[in-house]
Structure 1
Amino acid sequence: MAVLDGVLAAAGNMAHRVLGGGFADFTPMPRTLVDQGRARFVYHYDSADSGDPVLLVPPLAVPDTPFDLRRGCSLVEHLARRRPTYLLDYGPIGFRDRDLGLEHWVDEVLPAAIGTVRERTGRAPHLIGWCFGGILSVLAAARLGIDAIATLTVVASPFDFTKMPLLMPFRPIVAATGGHAFTPVYRAMGTIPAPLVRAAFQVSALDRHLTKPIAVATHLHDRDYLAQIEAVERFTANMVAYPGRTVGQIYHQFYRANALARGAIEVGGTRIDLAAAKQRTLLIAGRADTIAPRRAVGHLVKVLPDAEVEFVTAKGGHLGVLTGRAARHETWPLIDRHLNG
């Protein structure tokens, strides 16, 4: 009977797909814009009034959907039931933003967003940063001090770029050209356009991209699985551009010099020592993450010697560890426990 039910469910779902129907509910969580500036939009979600606030920090070059991927698989939906929930978004990035460097986000965007949440709630927010958003969160914590941010949650953020296998093939080219192979590209273009960002994300998960038709065929009976596939496709299709100056800083400081792994970078002419971030920190790596593997993420433990850092792994790849189907049962309970102290 179970086999027959599965066959009937698969047939129904296949017909639904053929007729152009979708499985994912992309209704966004209700929210209000409460602050904005250049490349800075702070949203407050309809959420619980009690508890310490959280501020979600996404990476650059992605839409604001990773934290609110789809109904039933949304970290925002999960958090909003428990505490005041805010999101930082950067909006569209274009050629006009080519002059924006890391200092814009570390010295202006993050401090302003944190200040907005604190002004509205009377409390220092807990920061939850994914991918490059986790790096920005640590840099902001180091810059602003212990009192500005309650805790840090850093998800799938690499802090040792020599431990990222996807970047290794490019190192001989960089060495052979004295590190300048990539420089003319981002200077001429002003940004890394959204199609290139999207292509890079797809290449990083090439094995799953190539085997997706098989995976879909073997899960035709599972609507939740098909909904997640749709959500990831939608997320990937809506990548945005990277500003050229920031790309240059990431390339030269993070990739060439591996400065994050050494514990200090220069931003806007000022040195930031990451060890100055002393907040209690939860560090999460995805066990199947090919972009920011466990060793690249876990290096932050060495960089923050004076902070209480808990390093854990959870099921999922780079996006899945944050908002995959398994994240509901693995990653999110870890975050809840951390926020509750």
Structure 2
Amino acid sequence: MDLLPLRSVPGAGLLPGPDQVVAAASNVAHKVLYGGLADLRPMPRTLIDEGTLREVYHYRPAGTVVQKGDPVLLVTPLAAPALCYDLRRGCSLVEHFVTEGRPTYLLEYGEVSFRDRNLGMEHWVDEVLPTAIREVSEHAGGRPVHLIGWSLGGIFSLLTLADEKSGKLPVASLSVVGSPIDVSLVPLLAPLRPLLNMFNGKGPITKGYQMLGGAPKPLVKWAFQLSAFQKMVTKPIALAQHIDDREFLAQVEAVDRFTANMIAYPGRTFGQLYHRFAKGNQLAQGLFELDDRVIDLGKIDVPVLVFGGATDGIAPVPAVRAVVPLLKGSPEVRFEVVPGGHLGMLTGRAARHTTWLAMDEWITEWSTDNQPEAPIGTSRKRRHGSASSRALSK
């Protein structure tokens, strides 16, 4: 989560001003009387497709807004709740797209249990994502889909579009948000990687997930919190310093709810991610061994927008940027550095002015309505192999 730096009180060493006292008292009273400050109402949605650990939802239009244009499909990462895209009113990417009239869809997976322990990554790459993409395209009148994947959702999206086994999918563009590709550049993992390779696949982590059938919810929640340990330690002080800031307090409430709703990893999938991703760092070379084949990210032939969070400790900017030179088959690759940590870059208070606007621009650029008609048998690709990079700030 993203807690702002501790704020100094106007007139250091003096008592807070009357306006601050009134605002603080109002916030405390509202929390006591109503249980919180955040508007946590979910955006209304309808289930349009489901299968094994696959639920595809369509978000209903807002009021009199007419949905038009190519659809957007938000791909949830494993273990994280779909709240990442609909955190709270005002900080919801779903709300942003829906109120703008964009046909908006979500892919999530439901509860993962012990009976799902034998499902590997190929279940998502071969079945879940391709099916969801085709269902969304059909539901939206046959239009191509703009994929947006956060964290592991971005990695699954990359693998799905690169996998020749998936066939040609109706995808217009891909946006990858905070997805680490070269894990050797993740400081949190760097000191652990030599230890991970010591046991030759027979260490305590391997034995643990095999015995438990995966990574249970409490462990996933603990790992996410540990990644922001410093912020956890300073959180009580930050709350006290911002007791008069309703927006700050509401964001903390929403992030706390998100963290409390973590989901388990299936055993086989966790094992593949652990051995091939965390230990083997396979994706750093643009290749990933899956089932009976090797997936090459260079096979992706749609435009790709990549976001790195300026203060992301789970997926630092260099670890995310590493994907750019690997996307050799993409007509355009663009890299953006945006404010925020791992979750904040997607749905923090600054995201509406940075990440979301960059997504809007990208989707508009690569939407069907903006693409010139190409002669039969030719591609609409532009600027082959080009890559651009910029930083967005508040």
- TM-score, length of structure 2 as denominator length: 0.84
Number of the residue aligned with 1:285: 308
Structure 2 residue 89 is the aligned partner of structure 1 residue 71:
yes
Shift, 1:180, TM fit: 3.0
**d(CA) in 2 for partners of 1:49, 1:177:** 54
**Hey, what does 1:93 align to over in structure 2?**
112
Structure 1 position 126 matched with structure 2 position 146: yes
Shift of 1:147: 5.1
Alignment of 1:135-150 (within 5 A): 135-143=155-163, 144=166, 148-150=170-172
Give the corresponding residue for 2:378. Answer: none
Q: Which letter maps to 2:80?
A: V
**Unmatched segments (≥5 aa) in structure 2:** 1-9, 11-15, 366-394
Whether the 8 Å CA contact 2:180–2:315 is kept in 1: the answer is yes
Q: State the alpha-carbon separation in 1 of the partners of residues 288 and 22 from structure 2.
A: 57
What is the alpha-carbon distance in structure 2 between the residues aligned to residue 234 and residue 147 of structure 1?
A: 35
Give the AA of the match of 1:3: G
Q: What's 2:389 paired with?
A: none
Q: Tell me the SS of whatever aligns to 1:165.
A: coil
Q: Aligned partners of 1:21 and 1:40: how far apart in 2?
A: 33
- The partner residue of 1:267 within 285, 290, 302 is 290
User: What is residue 80 of structure 2 aligned with on the other side?
Assistant: 62
Tell whether the 8 Å contact from 1:142 to 1:276 is kept in structure 2 after alignment: yes
Assess if the C-alpha contact under 8 Å between 1:106 and 1:136 holds in 2.
yes
The aligned counterpart of 1:53 is 71
Are the counterparts in 1 of residues 120 and 268 from structure 2 also a CA contact under 8 Å? Answer: yes
C-alpha displacement of 1:217:
0.9
- 1:231 equivalenced with 2:254 (yes/no): yes
Distance, in Å, in 1 between the alignment partners of 2:234 and 2:337 is 25
Sequence identity (%) = 54
Matches within 5 A, 1:148-297: 148-181=170-203, 182-297=205-320
Name the aligned partner's letter for residue 132 of structure 1: L
Of residues 330, 334, 339, the one that matches 2:358 is: 334
Matched, 1:317 2:371: no
Please give the alpha-carbon distance, in whole angstroms, between the structure 2 residues aligned to 1:3 and 1:64: 40
What residue in structure 2 maps to residue 23 of structure 1? 37
Distance apart, 1:179 and its partner CA: 4.1
What is the Cα deviation at residue 3 of structure 1?
A: 3.2
Q: CA RMSD in A?
A: 1.5
- Pairwise CA distance, 1:56: 0.2
Q: Which amino acid aligns with 1:27?
A: R
Distance 2:128 2:172 in 1: 18
Amino acid at match of 1:70: R
Structure 1: gaps spanning 5 or more residues: none
Rate the CA distance shift 1:118–1:20 in 2: closer, same or farther, 3 A.
closer
- 8 Å Cα contact 1:145-1:277 kept in structure 2: no
For 2:34 and 2:312, locate their aligned partners in 1 and report how far apart those are by CA, in whole Å. 31
CA distance in 1, matches of 2:276, 2:261: 27
| 8 Å contact from structure 2 (residues 214, 267) kept in 1 | yes
Q: Helix, strand or coil: the match of 2:189?
A: helix
Note the alpha carbon deviations across 1:241-299, whole angstroms, 9 max, x for none: 00010011111111222111111112221221111112111100110100000011000
In structure 2, C-alpha distance between the alignment counterparts of 1:146 and 1:107, rounded to whole Å? 12
Q: Which amino acid aligns with 2:55?
A: F
Aligned residue for 1:129, secondary structure, equals strand
Deviates most, 233-242 or 164-173: 164-173
Distance 2:169 2:75 in 1: 18
**1:216-257 CA deviation, whole Å, 9 max, x = no partner?**
111111111111000000000010100010011111111222
- Partners of 1:175 and 1:112 lie apart in 2 by 36
Q: Deviations over 1:57-88 (max 9, x none)?
A: 01000111110001111000001123100000
Pick which of 2-11 and 327-336 moved more.
2-11
Among 126, 147, 150, the residue aligned to 1:107:
126
AA partner of residue 26 (structure 1): L
SS at match of 1:254: helix
Aligned length: 341
What SS is found at the alignment partner of 2:233? helix
Equivalent pair of 1:174/1:180 in contact (CA under 8 Å)? no
Greater CA deviation, 6-15 or 144-153?
144-153
From the two aligned structures, give the one with the greater helix fraction: 1
Structure 1 residues 120 and 193, CA gap change in structure 2 (3 angstroms): same
Structure 1 residue 16: Cα displacement? 3.2
Q: Is contact 2:134–2:169 with CA below 8 Å preserved after alignment?
A: no
